[in-house]
Structure 1
Amino acid sequence: MKIKKYFCIGVLITLSIVAKAQAIEIDNFLQNQMKEHHIPAVSVAIIEHGKVVLTKTYGKANLEYNITNSEGTAFQLASATKLLAATALMTLVQDGKLDLHIKVRAYLPQLPQAWDDMQVIDLVAHQSGIADLLGLKYEFNSLQSALDTAVARPLDFAPGTKTVYAGGDYAVVMKLIETITGMSYQQFLNQSLLAKLGMKHTVYNNMEQDFIYRTYDTIPYAATVYKWDSEKSQQRIFSMLFPSWTYPAGGLFASIEDLSKWAVALDNNTLLKPEIQEQMWTAAKLRDGKDSPFGVGWIVADRKGEKATGHSGGPALADIVRLPDRKLTAIVLTNQLELRPNLTMQVVDLYLKHKK
């Protein structure tokens, strides 16, 4: 019995040493990155098998008022928004209200006949051929206005024949969700995901622009986004307008605390069954049988021979990586525009370096 007791104590001591080594290396890495790239604030979390094994916040969420970054500070997710939108969308698949491989016109028959070969999976995997509405640089004042422009233009390519990361796909996704559920997209996201998980610091700011005027909701816990001016050696404030018709694709603010709740829910199958989740990070197929780089909103890639999935946004405001086979999710949030989103995979590598 004593041998067993000493063995257990030895294991616990070893695990504690490993955990401290992981935390110190990740801590040093991120603080060095903050100095090198002039990042005012960073939040990081690692979630493994349904438990938050590491979470830490650094720096200032707001420099003007000297506000410290905290676990409740909400960062702009930009295109990483798609991961939460996809999770909510898949609840409709799970409930039998949506089929990814059914034609979009089965749900939205008012769409043009020329779109008849387009499937739902083509929208969420960026292979629809719909014109890049953001690339047009038009100011659409509503979802319907954006859709009217999309349907008036010819498809850029036949659905399912190539992958192009464009801004028109998710406008149709938004229309699809609102038609199926009978509620606004934001109401659906809140009901199907945010409220269920208690994600109280995950919101849109509902920014609107009228000529030179911008208005948006106050978010008391939101981090300010900065852009480093190398010539003047100073930070400048940066803001980006995410029109409401793009909200399934970008614009969401979320805290490291809230995103950790979401990652825990993925591990514990709280919202989605394992087989439904697997569809999110399974590469879609093009019509020629080749794999797309996207699943349902999630980028599908490879890390040292194992599947790695996730999305970044900003270019570096948010970066989320998940290793599904390990049930491991790593999240890094920053408020510096100038950094490319490559921190999270390095955090994953540092974390896994000490694990057998």
Structure 2
Amino acid sequence: MMKHAAFATALSLLTGALASAQTPAETFESGLAEYRRSHHIPSLSVVVLRDGEPDVEAYLGWSDDEGELPTTADTTYFIASVTKTVSGTTLFLADEAGEIDLDRPMADAEDWQGLCDWFPDSGIPLAGGEVEGVIMPDFSCAGQTLRQVVNMQANGEPGTDFWYNALVFARLGRWVDEVHERDFRSLVRAYVLDPLAMTDTMAGWHDIQNFHVLSHLAPPFFFDGERVVKQPFPDDDFRGAAGLYMTPMDLARFDRALDDGTLLTPGQRDALWTPPNNPDGSPSEYAHGWFLEDYQGERLIFHSGWQPEAYSAIYLKVPDRGLTLIAFANSESLWWHNRPDRSEIERSDLVQAFFAAYGIGETTP
């Protein structure tokens, strides 16, 4: 009920904003303070980029448990699975450079064999079971390649259908650590973080660079139905699926580099976001760490992040319009109970507010 009420609240706020604001940025930004309040988010940072430049920068709330430290542009967050966009892009670039072979078998790593021994019979739904009302096919070690794992095609018959499996994707980091000369953190730094001067990003607790990121970290909270309760910090180190801590504007540096040719040629960028085919010949909804979706005539490229009862994040690109939405929260309230078999970012009420403000899905770009 809370999510439905929040959705209605967001849309009603947006309707009022549409009547008064003169620009899409003003329309969208005017409802964010009430959105944060109604969703019980202590610290919320939202950035909208238009052609690489900030159209909206909103830093709302407070980033400590006493409510004394206001959220600012320096506030950092654990971005959970949005990390996959950086991880997947890194592996794509390393494959293009000949340093990593995406078609190499996962079984080349002993860690993968260890996963094979316990995961299929673990009882974890991602190994085969119900996730958000959907029955995932069984996971079995059947010759998966690095490419199939990074494209989320590891469940069922490997290399066929898309099934979102964050636990298996997380094994990519361990695979690189074991079989490659450079560990995964070093690879990500070499291909993405250091070339882009992403100095407000840490790759996990054990990263030896950019310690100041933790001093600006908004601690996690959970709304228990009555109040927001401070939660333990995530204690996992950096891995393929999650582990980056950063500011929204550092992710904006990554976003600009994707679009302006700094990281990839136009042909490489097209290949990065070209998914494999499903068995019926239709394109998959995931490629190289990115969700892909066609929504009412609009091309959407995105990822969400969810650390249960702690953090959530949204990173959405609408490339034909030159628009990007970045939203970080120190609660799980940006999460919308994503299904494991579909790319449906329109189910997010914040994204719906963004769409309405900017006319996405309503008019021709």
Q: Give the TM-score normalised by structure 2.
A: 0.72
Q: 1:317 aligns with which of 307, 312, 321?
A: 312
Cα 1:355–1:223 change in 2 (3 A) is farther
Alignment of 1:48-67 (within 5 A): 48-64=50-66, 66-67=68-69
For 1:283 and 1:205, how far apart are their aligned partners in 2? 29
Query: Please, which moves more after superposition, 261-270 or 338-347?
Result: 338-347
- Contact 2:47–2:56 under 8 Å retained in 1: yes
In structure 2, the residue matched to 1:140 is: none
Task: Single out whichever of 166-175 and 103-112 deviates more from structure 2.
Answer: 103-112
Deviation at 1:324, TM superposition (A): 2.6
Q: CA 1:119–1:345 in structure 2 vs 1: closer, same or farther (change >3 Å)?
A: farther
Aligned residues of 1:128 and 1:158 also touching (Cα < 8 A):
yes
**Cα separation, partners in 2 of 1:290 and 1:121, compared to 1, 3 Å:** farther
Structure 1 residues 348 and 96 mapped into 2: Cα distance closer, same or farther (>3 Å)? Answer: farther
Structure showing greater radius of gyration is 1
Structure 1 residue 326: Cα displacement: 3.0
Q: Does 1:98 align with 2:100?
A: yes
1:127 and 2:153 correspond: yes
Q: Distance in 1 between matches of 2:44 and 2:364?
A: 24
How much does 1:239 deviate? 3.3
Residues 110 and 339 of structure 1: is their aligned pair in 2 closer, same or farther, counting only changes over 3 Å? closer
Structure 2 residue corresponding to 1:238, chosen from 221, 231, 256: 231
Q: Which consecutive residues of structure 2, in runs of 5 or more, have no partner in the other structure?
A: 1-19, 117-139, 337-347
> Given the superposition, is the C-alpha separation of residues 62 and 50 from structure 1 closer, same or farther in structure 2, using an over 3 Å criterion?
same
Deviates more, 1:198-207 or 1:317-326: 198-207
Equivalence map 1:90-239=2 (5 Å): 90-100=92-102, 102-104=103-105, 117-129=143-155, 157-178=156-177, 181-206=180-205, 219-231=214-226, 234-239=227-232
Distance 1:48 1:179, change over 3 A: farther
After superposition, residues 64-79 of structure 1 pair within 5 angstroms as: 64=66, 66-79=68-81
The number of equivalent residue pairs is 300
Per-residue deviation at 1:305? 1.2
How much is the aligned-residue C-alpha RMSD, in angstroms?
3.2
Assess if the C-alpha contact under 8 Å between 2:313 and 2:335 holds in 1: no
Other-structure match for 1:259: 251
1:108 and 1:28, CA in 2 relative to 1: closer, same or farther beyond 3 A?
Answer: same
What residue is the counterpart of 2:321 in the other structure?
Answer: 326
Letter in 1 for 2:148: D
The CA distance in 1 between the partners of 2:32 and 2:222, in whole Å, is 18
Residue 104 of structure 1: how far off its partner (Å): 2.2
TM-aligned CA distance change 1:176 to 1:274, over 3 Å: farther
Instruction: State the distance in 2 between where 1:279 and 1:271 align.
Output: 13
Alignment check: 8 A CA contact 1:330 1:348 kept: no
Give how far 1:164 is off: 2.6
- Pick closer, same or farther for the CA change 1:175–1:218 going to 2, 3 Å: same
Of 338-347 and 197-206, deviating more is: 338-347
Aligned to 1:42: 44
2-structure distance, mates of 1:110, 1:318:
29
SS in 2 for 1:68: coil
In 2, Cα distance between equivalents of 1:124 and 1:204: 19
Distance 1:184 1:65, change over 3 A: farther
Shift of residue 220, structure 1, vs aligned partner = 0.2
Retained in 1: the 8 A contact 2:172–2:239?
no
Instruction: Tell me the secondary structure at the aligned position of residue 241 of structure 1.
Output: coil
The 2-side partners of 1:186 and 1:260 are apart by 20
Cα-to-partner distance string for 1:310-347 (whole Å, 9 max, x where unaligned): 11112662101112333321111111224435223532
The answer for the alignment partner of 1:32 in structure 2 is 34
Q: Which moved more, 1:256-265 or 1:107-116?
A: 107-116
What per-residue deviation string (whole Å, max 9, x for no partner) do you get for residues 170-193 of structure 1?
A: 244224434675122112212221
- 1:167 Cα deviation from its structure 2 partner: 3.8
Kept in 2, the 8 Å contact 1:124–1:170? The answer is: yes
Identity %: 24
Residue 278 of structure 1 and its aligned partner are, at CA, apart by 2.0
Q: Work out the CA distance in 1 between the residues paired with 2:93 and 2:353.
A: 31
Distance, in Å, in 1 between the alignment partners of 2:279 and 2:104 is 14
User: Aligned-pair distance for 1:105?
Assistant: 5.5
The worse-fitting range, judged by mean Cα deviation, of 341-350 and 318-327 is 341-350
Distance in 2 between residues matched to 1:99 and 1:349, nearest whole Å: 42
Pair 1:287–1:88, CA change in 2 (3 A): same
Cα distance 1:286–1:103, how it changes in 2: closer, same or farther (>3 A)? farther
Q: Which runs of 5+ in 1 are unaligned?
A: 1-17, 130-156, 208-215
- AA paired with 1:56? A
- SS of the residue aligned with 2:335? coil
Amino acid at match of 1:53: D
Deviation at 1:205, TM superposition (A): 4.3
Identify the match of residue 350 of structure 1 among 341, 349, 357: 357
Cα deviation per residue 1:107-138 (whole Å; 9 max; x = unaligned)? 75997799574333210122123xxxxxxxxx
Post-superposition Cα deviations, 1:17-51, rounded to whole Å, max 9, x if no partner, equal: x9962232112221121121111121111223232
Counterpart amino acid of residue 98 in structure 1: I
CA contact (8 A) 1:127 1:163 kept: yes
Normalising by structure 1, what TM-score? Answer: 0.74
**2: distance between equivalents of 1:163 and 1:94?**
23
Query: Which of 270, 275, 281 is the aligned partner of 1:278?
Result: 270
Secondary structure of residue in 2 paired with 1:250: coil
C-alpha displacement at 1:222, in angstroms? 0.7
Partner Cα distance (1:119, 1:349) in 2:
40
